[in-house]
Structure formats: structure tokens, C-alpha cells
Amino acid sequence: MDYTTFGRTGLQLSQLALGTGNFGTGWGYGADPETAIAIVNAYAAAGGNFIDTADVYQFGQSEEILGKALEGRREDFVLATKFTNGAAPDANRLVTGNSRKAMVASVEASLRRLKTDRIDLYWVHHPDGLTPIEEIVRGLDDLARAGKILYAGLSNFPAWRLSRAATLAELTRAVPIAAAQFEHSLVHREPETDLFPACEALGIGVVTWSPLGGGVLTGKYRKGETGRAEGFGGNVFQAENSPQRTATIDAVLQIAEETGSSPDRVAIAWAGTHGAVPIIGPRSLVQLESNLGAAALSLSSDQIARLDAASAPTDVPRRSATRVVA
């Protein structure tokens, strides 16, 4: 697996991140601990070094499994987790949201579950519609100065909030907003209009989730499989509900056939051509091994152009066909 320098940090991250939303069964859909640890082992063996989780994933089970999986090799990975929603389905309002109180309570709980003394990259999971960005920036800086976190990032924040937070952090000499995470795939290209340009201008590292559109880009739902169409209550899923999406999936399947590869690898490889670190979120070793193949897949400029043309919304400018080849 190749590695990339992440934003304006000194981190060297693997080109694919391992997402662990499927680690555990607290949500009624996911992988048991034995399978999850086997996935971590296989990801590490392939050269992966960037693991992404959250306190809310499987109501804390994901972090607990990772705490066990990383014992004795913690320094081999960049470990990222998130807060905002809390780790319990009935979490108290004082430990949810983005207030400094919730932030401190959440980081301490995550440290215990992860069995570590600090979090490498701490994400604010999403805006809570209440906490001022000044409070978030100051809170993250406090955690960094206390040695609880090394880098700070914002997940699922709009470009204007991200830009304001990065500017406030710079002006107040707080810990920088080093990273942004958001959904991006061939069926969700809206971030190309604002989030990607903002991150490039501000030197913010980009991590993208759901490069398979909840699995729709694999074409498996055409065969009657359910997956995330039903798992997680149908959340984090993009349906094949328009002629354009049908054309996009058709293009992915065609290019997979041309390259002797698989649709998931084509979709993930395309996501990696935007300067981001895509997150793969396998539930089984079979899914992981297939996803990891994207790291070795090189799409031609013509293939990228065809995928771009099939999937481009009218408000997303098309890029040059000679831009970046995975």
C-alpha cells in the first residue's frame, strides 16, 4: 500500500483508512469481535496504518474491540475517533453535543475503551446546531495541551464552518484544524463544489467516507442483496433512484469488467483520485480483501473521465481527464 503526507502535518498515512463502524453488534448489524480483530490484522498486514472509529459506533463496542486489537502495537497506527453522539443509546444531554463538557467527558471515556493514553486524531463528529465554533476550537486546544489528543478534525461540517474554525484556530494559535471528514463517492459528489477547494486552500487533510455509496456502487442490490439498504436502519445508504445513478453504476460495472477487477475496487480507486484518504468499512474478511485491491488498481485517464461524466451533477464542474490517475 502507498502512503501520503496528510495535509500540513508530518503524518504518513496509508492510502486507505480502515473504518470500524461495523465492529460490534450493538446496532444489530456488524461483525463479532473475533472477525473484527481478524480484519484489523489483515489490514495491518497489507500495510494499512490509519484506523477510524467513533464512540457511538455500536454503542462503544467498536472502541472496545480496537482497544483489545491494538494491544502491544498501538504505535503502528494512527488512531482516530469521534465524539458528539455519546456511546449509549440513552446518553445524557450533558455528555452529547459539542460542548466542552461533553468533549472532555467523551475523550476520557474513549481513552478508557481504547486502552490508550492519547488519541492521535480527534474528530467532532458533526455540528450539534448549538455549540459556538469558538467553544469547539478552544476545547480541542485544551485537549491537545493536556496531551489527550495530537490532532483535531471536523467531520461532516459544511465548508463555511470548517473554514471559520480553521481561521479561528490560526488566529488564536490554538491546535490547528488539521483534518476534515465527509461523505464522497460517485453518487455523492457535492463536496467537490466547496469542501474540497476549502481544504486545499487551507492545507487541511481530507478523509472521505462511504466511497461505495453504502454498497450501491458494487451493483449488489441489483442482485437482491440487502446490506446497508436494511442494515443500520437503512442509514448511510444511497439508493439507485435516478437515471444518472443507474448510468453511474453501469459505468462502474463496465470498467470493472475492462480492468478484470471488481466494482468496489473501481469505486474506491476513483475516490482516491481526489487527494483524499477514502475510508473502507468492511464487515467481513472477504469484503476487506476485495476493498484492499483498490490500492493496486490504476484507472486510466479515459476511465476516470467516463466515471466523471456519468456521475457529475450539473452544479459540480468537471475536471480535466488528465488530472490524477490512481
Q: Helix H segments across 146-281? A: 159-171, 195-202, 243-259, 263-271
Determine the residue type at 54.
A
The catalytically annotated residue of 43, 57, 122, 151 is 57
User: How far apart are the C-alpha atoms of 168 and 162, rounded to whole Å?
Assistant: 10
User: How far apart are the C-alpha atoms of 8 and 176, rounded to whole Å?
Assistant: 10
Of 257, 249, 266, nearest in space to 326 by CA: 266
User: How far apart are the C-alpha atoms of 320 and 279, rounded to whole Å?
Assistant: 25
43 part of the active site = no
User: How far apart are the C-alpha atoms of 307 and 131, rounded to whole Å?
Assistant: 39
Of 229, 227, 230, 266, nearest in space to 248 by CA: 266
Task: Give every CB contact of residue 119 below 8 A, 6+ residues apart in sequence.
Answer: 79, 80, 81, 107, 110, 111, 148, 149, 150
3-state class (DSSP) for residue 18:
strand
Question: What are the catalytic residues?
Answer: 57
